[in-house]
Amino acid sequence: MATLNAATCATNLRNTGTGTCTIDPGLIGGAIKIPDTLIMTQANLDVLETFIRTGLFATLKDDRFFPINDFHTPTDSSEATVWQTFGNGSKKTVRNGRNNWMFQYSEGALCRSNSLQSFNFLGTTTWLFWDVNNLLIGRRVKDSTGAWGLAGVPLTFHADPWKMATGAEVTKYTVTFDFDPKYINSQLGFVKADFELSDLQGLQNIVIEPQTTLAAGAVKVRLYSGCNKTNLYDKYKAEILAGSIFVLTNTTTGNAIPVTGVADDPNIKGFTISPTVADADYPAIGASLTLDLISPTALKTALITPYEGIPVSIVRAS
């Protein structure tokens, strides 16, 4: 019941006694960017590993989980509690200072740094942290049904440009998280994972590189991954030929074009893809089709993992 002009005073003080089992977060080992509106229900937490690993392969990036591990050399630049000093020398707290955490990492080096910088300047994003004891840390909130669940911490994320090696230190790659401390204090939510959170890996891109124009009803391509452009031919040739992993669409209409066949081309360590030329959406000369791969989950089922294809537009030459 709401009462007019009634002062509301603190009535939620908690007892300060402790038992023998306490929660004491350890060294932060990594973080996971999760969808902003996601609240993990108890049903999700009951199958936590399956739930998170499924999120790693979500087709839409707004629904995907993006893990960063290998955190070391933490730097806590959090703001101190803000006090106001009055003329008589007495002080009063104004607010808690904001948390500002920076972590160095080395896995992935410049490739990962460039990828992480794509998350800069997005405004507020939502993250879970985990410590070296497999404690997954977020905030405890209620979902639409009124049940408690685990959500991420809203924060400002920034992947910093790399700093050169000095001879005394390796090349420095760092990420910074800035957030209100209430999210991991009064609103703290946590769960102890029963699997190694450090094992979680994000997806890698597969670059589709045309080796010929679209002519005579076929186009030749190579598939590469990683900064060093590793050709996936030797590792995944059998899986690529066994599965229907290529997706063709008319670039203008967006309509699908069936694939007639995929053939091995050992001379270029690539593949020949043949669209259905009789299809109504097969492009006219000078127009283009878009070549992509099936979803990350479907690629995983085809035993080509953990990858996502990057679509490429190919102009029909003849």
CATH of the domain at 249: 2.60.40
Are 189 and 150 in contact by the 8 Å Cβ rule? The answer is: yes
Instruction: Enumerate the β-bridge partners of residue 192.
Output: 135
Q: Is the same domain home to 37 and 53?
A: yes
| 34-67 residue pLDDT tens | 999 999 999 999 999 999 999 999 999 999 999 9
Last residue of a domain, one of 170, 199, 228: 199
Same-domain check for residues 194 and 224: no
- 13 in a domain, yes or no? no
User: Residues 273, 246: contact at Cβ < 8 Å?
Assistant: yes
pLDDT at 126: 98
CA dist., res. 219 & res. 205, Å (int): 21
Last residue of a domain, one of 175, 199, 223: 199
For residues 156 and 46, membership in a common domain is answered with yes
Please tell me the distance from the alpha carbon of residue 73 to that of residue 195, in angstroms, as a whole number: 24
Q: How many domains does the chain have?
A: 2
Phi-psi region of 62 (alpha: psi -120 to 50; beta: other; left: phi over 0): alpha
108 and 78 fall within a common domain: yes
Task: Find all residues with CB under 8 Å of 16, minimum gap 6, and list them.
Answer: none
Instruction: Count the alpha carbons within 13 Å of 284 in the hemisphere toward its beta carbon.
Output: 2
What single DSSP character describes residue 103?
A: E
Same domain, residue pair 106 and 239: no
- Asked if 137 contacts 190 with a C-beta cutoff of 8 angstroms, the reply is yes
Instruction: Please report the pLDDT score of residue 5 as a whole number.
Output: 53
The answer to whether the bond into 306 is cis (omega within 30° of 0) is yes
**In a domain? residue 16:** no
Residue 84 in any domain: the answer is yes
Give the span between the Cα atoms of 87 and 276, in whole angstroms. Answer: 83
Please list the ranges in the chain whose pLDDT falls under 70. 1-11, 16, 18, 20-22
Amino acid residing at 184: I
Q: Which of 45, 49, 50, 51 is nearest to 63 (CA)?
A: 51
Same domain for 291 and 225: yes
End of a domain among 135, 170, 199?
A: 199
- Supply the range of the domain harboring residue 221: 204-315
Does residue 56 sit in the same domain as residue 143? Answer: yes
CA 32 to chain centre: 7
> 144 and 252, same structural domain?
no
- pTM for this prediction: 0.89
Residues 208 and 291 occupy one common structural domain:
yes
| Domain co-membership, 210 together with 173 | no
Helix, strand or coil for residue 296? helix
Say yes or no: 273 and 293 in one domain.
yes
- Please check whether residues 284 and 297 belong to one and the same domain: yes
- The pLDDT score that the predictor gives to residue 3 is 55
